[in-house]
Amino acid sequence: MRIVLASANKGKIEEFKKLLPNYEVIAYSDILGKFDIPETGTSFKENAIIKASEINRRLKEQNEKHFIVISDDSGISLPILNGAPGVYSARYSGINASDKSNNEKLISELNRLNLEKSEAFYTACITIIYKDFVYTVHGFMHGMAINQEKGTNGFGYDPLFIPKGFDKTLGELDFEVKQEFSHRNRALKLAMKVLEVIL
């Protein structure tokens, strides 16, 4: 059974492959070509369902069989910023945002408030579509966002986030350490339970 990821984010694709070693995990673009899916939802759940549904629809149009679509919508939220970046995490600094520009904007927001660090949490919503049935699960990771980048591991806001119980950022921690408690891994563990039931 092939798992088709509704993502073109290279970092995310590699992470899913590591976290799902017993499945054939491929990016949607390997089958359908690369295209953008507008993320018009107001929650991580809505966006995850939108992405998975679009990939599922296009795969069916091409008469693809024996596949599961998995999408993930995730991001970081700071209560001090009224939940921002939130669902706009990937495009926090603009439509064609990069990890660097997003991190710079978050740092500037913390500096504007004269904060070296602030409470923050990651959310991951995973949507699974199999035979047109839709399932969703969530995972969370709490910690602190800081106003300077530390470490080069991971992607996104990882160099700015210190998980609860640690004194290093996700950018400084090894993948093997992070995967034990990451928001995505917590959501994936729940997703695996769904897969066990439906397959």
Please state the residue numbers annotated as binding site for substrate. 7-12, 74, 155-158, 178, 183-184
Half-sphere exposure of residue 137: CA atoms within 13 angstroms, side-chain side = 17
Please report, in range form, the residues annotated as the binding site: 7-12, 73-74, 155-158, 178, 183-184
Other beta carbons less than 10 A from residue 42's beta carbon? 9
As a three-state string, the secondary structure of 131-166 is CCEEEEEEEEEEEEEECCCCCCCCCCCHHHEEECCC
Q: CA 28 → CA 8, 13, 54, 55, 64, distances in Å?
A: 7, 10, 10, 7, 12
Q: Which of 30, 36, 72, 73 is catalytic?
A: 73
User: What is the pairing mode between strands 2-5 and 133-146?
Assistant: unpaired
58, two tokens:
């296009």
Please report, in range form, the residues annotated as the binding site for Mg(2+): 73
Q: CA 197 → CA 7, 130, 183, 191, 194, distances in Å?
A: 24, 12, 22, 10, 5
Q: Specify whether 72 is catalytic.
A: no
The set of catalytic residues is 73
